[in-house]
Amino acid sequence: MRSYRSRLAACAAVSALALAACTGPAAQEGPAAGQSGIPEDTGPLRIAVISHGTAGDAFWNVVKNGAEDAGRDLGIEVEYNADGDPGNQARLIDNAVAQRAGGLVVSMANPEALKPSIENAVRAGIPVITINSGEENSAAFGAITHVGQNEGIAGENAGRRFKESGKTKLLCVIHEAGNVGQNQRCEGAKRGFGQTQNLQVDISNPTDVQARIRGAVQTDPSIDAVLTLNSQVAANAVGAIEQAGSTAQVATFDLNTDVVNAIKAGDVLFAVDQQQYEQGYLPVLFLKLYRDNANVVGGGRPVLTGPDFVDKSTVDKIGQYVERGTR
């Protein structure tokens, strides 16, 4: 499984680096490294990846797999850390700056809490790439690019899919208070669908999550569509609808084995897949290109990894990649 990923990713890396190998600074005659604005290579590149995920989370494990695979393929030291508390995440960024990391990859679920730490990293000369959340703040904070999906567009497409399936009232379940990306997903869903009601739950209490979703569909039987923003919450929604005897249909953001099986069984209509393996892999490659050849990817725009949609027509193919930890 790992060797297949490495071969696949190495092919992409070789293609991307081919031009630099042929025509980049290393192939030119001229001033020595460190002169004329060309930074001196002081050793292997060391990159800190700091996300707002939690240990054991299926989504963030795939991001971690991508980053670590890129490190192995490209000969880069990658250290992955995660903390769902914005203050703790900021401290992880500060520690990476103090240790003079060669590059930072940061997800920004709570941009304002991370702003001082990210700006300190930029002032220290450490290139930053943001991933997953915080696209709107990325350039303003000094990051060289953002890698992820546009949450509003993804939510809008999800809402439109529900509408096209004939649903009339949507419940959008937000599981992390203060997460800007989740609010953007639900706002987008409302644009694409129409009549939408938000429900705030706490992902750390699955029993309460299920009870709140059950209560919502029992209180308002006109709710016939439930959009969750996390694969774990999707399972809670399926259970809640069964308990309530509701005919509402569930769709979700993100994939795991349970969601794959639920799509096959018809319990989940579709999953919005942002292909988060790319959010781990691509920033490591981009930071290497930036250090070795001053390349900046995206042309001032985010590099989008999604949304892709997985339903019964594609779940058998995509499911095998979920099993191996790359989707």
Which domains does the chain show, CATH number per domain?
Answer: 2-17+34-149+275-308 (3.40.50.2300), 151-273 (3.40.50.2300)
Q: Residue 42 has what pLDDT?
A: 57
> CA 60 to CA 82: how far, in whole Å?
9
CB neighbour list of residue 18: distance below 8 Å, 6 or more residues apart: none
pLDDT tens, residue by residue, 148-187: 999 999 999 999 999 999 999 999 999 998 889 999 999 9
pLDDT tens, residue by residue, 263-277: 999 999 999 999 999
pLDDT tens, residue by residue, 2-28: 444 444 444 444 444 333 333 333 333
> CA 25 to CA 36: how far, in whole Å?
11
> CA 323 to CA 32: how far, in whole Å?
48
Tokens (6 digits) for 152: 């509003």
> CA 101 to CA 270: how far, in whole Å?
40
C-alpha Rg value of the chain to the nearest Å: 21
CA angle 34, 35, 41 (to 5 degrees): 20
Query: Which residue, chain included where needed, has tokens 């639920």?
Result: 262
CB 310 within 8 A of CB 255: yes
> CA 86 to CA 81: how far, in whole Å?
13
**Residue 326 burial (C-beta neighbours within 10 Å; 0-12, 13-18, 19+):** buried
pTM: 0.81
Q: Residue 40 has what pLDDT?
A: 47
Integer angstrom CA distances of residue 79 from 49, 84, 260, 313, 319: 6, 17, 30, 37, 28
Q: Residue 125 has what pLDDT?
A: 98
